Amino acid sequence: MLLKRLGAHPGGAGQLSREASSSLTPAPRLRMTSNAFLRQCQHQQRAAYHSDPMTGEPMGPRDLDASLLVVEENKDRKAPPPSSTLVFGHSFSDHMLTAAWNSKTGWAPPAIHAYRPLTLDPSSVIFHYAPSLFEGMKAYKDVQGRLRLFRPDMNMKRLNNSAHRIALPPVNGKERMLHGVPSEPGYSLYIRPTLIGTQAALGVHPTNDALLFCIMSPVGPYFKGGFKPVALEADPTRVRAWPGGTGHYKLGGNYAPTLRPQMEAASHGYQQNLWLFGEDHKLTEVGTMNLFVVLQNEGGNGYEIVTPPLNGTILPGVTRDSILTLARDHYREIEGLPSAQELTVSEREITMGEVQQAGKDGRLLEIFGAGTAAVVSPVDRIGFQGQDIDIPVGPEGIGKVAKAMLNRMNDIQLGRIEHPWSVCIEDLL
State the pLDDT at residue 398: 96
State the pLDDT at residue 77: 86
What CATH number does the domain located at 4-221 have? Answer: 3.30.470.10
State the pLDDT at residue 319: 98
State the pLDDT at residue 335: 84
Q: What fold, for 230-413?
A: D-amino Acid Aminotransferase; Chain A, domain 2 (3.20.10)
Burial of 1 (0-12, 13-18, 19+ CB in 10 A): buried
The residue type at 142: D
State the pLDDT at residue 168: 97
Per-residue pLDDT of the chain (429 residues; tens, 9 = 90+): 344 433 333 233 333 332 333 333 333 333 333 343 344 444 444 444 444 444 555 445 567 888 889 999 998 888 888 877 888 888 899 999 999 999 999 999 999 999 999 999 999 999 999 999 999 999 999 988 899 999 999 999 999 999 999 999 999 755 445 555 776 767 899 999 999 999 999 999 999 999 999 999 999 877 666 789 999 999 999 999 999 999 999 999 999 999 999 999 999 999 999 999 999 999 999 999 999 999 999 988 899 999 999 999 999 999 999 999 999 987 567 888 888 789 999 999 999 999 999 999 999 999 999 999 899 999 999 999 999 999 999 999 999 999 999 999 999 999 999 999 999 987 665
Q: Is 355 helix (H, G, I), strand (E, B) or coil?
A: helix
Instruction: State the Cα–Cα distance between residues 198 and 211, nearest whole angstrom.
Output: 7
Contacts of 285 (CB under 8 A, 6+ apart): 240, 241, 275, 291, 308, 314, 315, 369
What is the residue extent of each domain of the chain?
4-221, 230-413
State the pLDDT at residue 57: 53
Domain 4-221 and domain 230-413 have a common topology: no
State the pLDDT at residue 18: 29
Burial of 24 (0-12, 13-18, 19+ CB in 10 A): buried
Instruction: State the Cα–Cα distance between residues 372 and 188, nearest whole angstrom.
Output: 11
State the pLDDT at residue 221: 79
